[in-house]
A = this chain, B = another copy of it.
Amino acid sequence: MSVKLEIAQEILLNLVTVMPKEKVVLSECWRRILGETIVSDIDFPPFDRSPLDGYALIDEEVAGATPENPVILQQTDYIPAGGIPNKPVIPGTACRIMTGAPLPPGATGVIRLEDTIVDGDKVTILDGRGAEKNICLRGEELFSGEEVIAQGTVINAGVMGMLAVLGKSRPSVFCKPRVALIATGSEIVPVDFPLTPGKIRNSNSFMLSAQAAEAGAQTVLLGNASDNVDEIAHLLETAADCDVFITTGGASVGDFDFISEVYKKLGITLLFDRVSIKPGMPVLAGIRDGKLYFGLSGNPAAAAISFEQLVRPVLMKLGGRKVWWRPHVKAILASPFNKKTGAKRFVWARCWQTDNDILVEPSRAQGNGMLKSAMGANALMVIPENSPPLPLNAEVEVILLADA
């Protein structure tokens, strides 16, 4: 029962709901997903203010001032940052004002300190041009009632600053999805165990936990299980509070492919058991009580691609994001791709920009093992199904991996 990738993605995304929300202290919100739409309850700046240190005055009075023909005004007030004006500016007067301080009534411009000479309360304006531009108007950046940040926005540095401006010291964010990870296979030993004949270390759990983190999820590493239905089923049940369950290994055809039996034992409804992509064809998905289960291949190349194409979009939607897909661009092959492609193929690649184009080339060492290719990749080349070998300069679609 091999389904097309796009069908598999649709099946999964239709079954995914969105995580509940929690309130988190702002300093911990970087990279979290905003769970509420933020409407400003203030004008910002909250008052007309000076963007620099200088003199607030009536701009028309000083417009023609030059070092040769300066304009002399009388200082009548002094407003520090955080202070408030005591008296209005009237003709012939100026008010000393600090960066960020509220503009006094009557002032229509500000001249910066460097363009003045101060002697007691006498202020000589040497250059009066553009005074009217040196004002930040109340509400210039935000007005009260304005929708400023949409639910589902990733909290980057700018969003973080804006939440602070608006006093959101504990914004609502979506809870991080929790992903349970189990590596199955009697050949697998824990990472800090010595290797004995026939054994390899569990690398999939660590690779996938990083992929999950990149998709905004937390992982719970449940360790290794041998090829035993009861053991795998028991381990899965120990992590019942998780939101998504992933096993690696035991997903392809053969005597030791236990995962479909595990699903039967646990009452997990099988959604599909292979997807027509390469690598990553053997992959099971199931659902129970609204939670998704994935049985990925034990081969790291296949597991990584299945995760990228099937699990990642699920985690992105679950996590409350508006965009579930990575950016795609068109790129030009910098070296021929000499393989015929049956099922849609994904190839770890490096792309770079030249004056005219984005070029792309498969990572060296595109072996079955593939960790070396994945380490240095910044993109995945997408080769459509039933493609002939592709020549130098052929145009290919490329998925950009931001994390590289």
Contacts and interface: CB of A to CB of B under 8 A. Distances in A.
Interface residues of A, number: 108
Contacts of A186: 80-83
A161 B371 contact: yes
A355 B395 CA distance: 11
Interface string A129-152: 000000010001110000011000
Interface in A207-261: 207-211, 213-214, 219, 221, 226-227, 249, 252-257
A162 B26 CA distance: 35
Nearest to A41: B195
Contacts of A141: 365, 367-372
**Copies of this chain:** 2
Interface stretch (A67-75, A95-103, A288-296, A383-391): A95-103
A179 to B, nearest CB: 13
A139 to B, nearest CB: 10
A162 B203 contact: yes
Contacts of A200: 44-46, 100, 165
A353 interface: yes
A162 B375 contact: yes
B256 A80 contact: yes
A169 interface: yes
A100 B187 contact: yes
Interface stretch (A13-21, A263-271, A297-305): A297-305
